[in-house]
Amino acid sequence: MKLKDVIGRGLKGIVIGVFLIQTIGVLMMLFSKESATFSKEFLINQYVAASIIGFTFGALNILYQSEKLGLIGATILHFIGVSLVYIPCAIMAGWLINDSEVIISTITIFIATYFIVWLICYLQWKNYIKQINMELNIRRKE
């Protein structure tokens, strides 16, 4: 595990994190019946929170390269790590307020997004491994 790889993954994570969080915000506004005006500080807080969360998701992806942890161990550590960063960032960004309905919906969105992204990545890698195995089988037959 190299620091350069962790930082590179973190920077890629920022792009994905900002995109996902801003997209979720836009979708929530589209389905809301209320109109809203945002201050510069609010938008900066959203961007900073999304960047920190995205960096953390991306940087901690390095855990999946550990053969010692295995898929379950890496997933558990990754989820714990991003949760420890997500919750303070969500509070800073104003996503979590002292309202049980808001807290439950925010945590539900977080868990659902985590699961969907994890599942997509898992299926992509499973398909990639299947393709590699098919190519190896073809080479063995030659």
Tokens of 39: 């201050």
Residue 141: how many other CB atoms lie within 10 Å: 6
At 7, the pLDDT band (50, 70, 90 cuts) reads very high
Task: Give me the pLDDT at residue 64, please.
Answer: 87
Please give the tally of structural domains in the chain. Answer: 1
Contact criterion met (CB below 8 Å) for 82 and 56: yes
Closest CA to 57 of 26, 28, 86, 32: 86
At 113, the pLDDT band (50, 70, 90 cuts) reads confident
* 25-73 confidence digits (pLDDT tens): 888 888 888 887 888 998 899 999 999 999 998 999 899 888 888 888 9
Closest CA to 75 of 121, 106, 24, 109: 121
Residue whose tokens read 């201050």: 39
Q: Which domain holds residue 35?
A: 3-141
- Residue at 72: amino acid letter: I
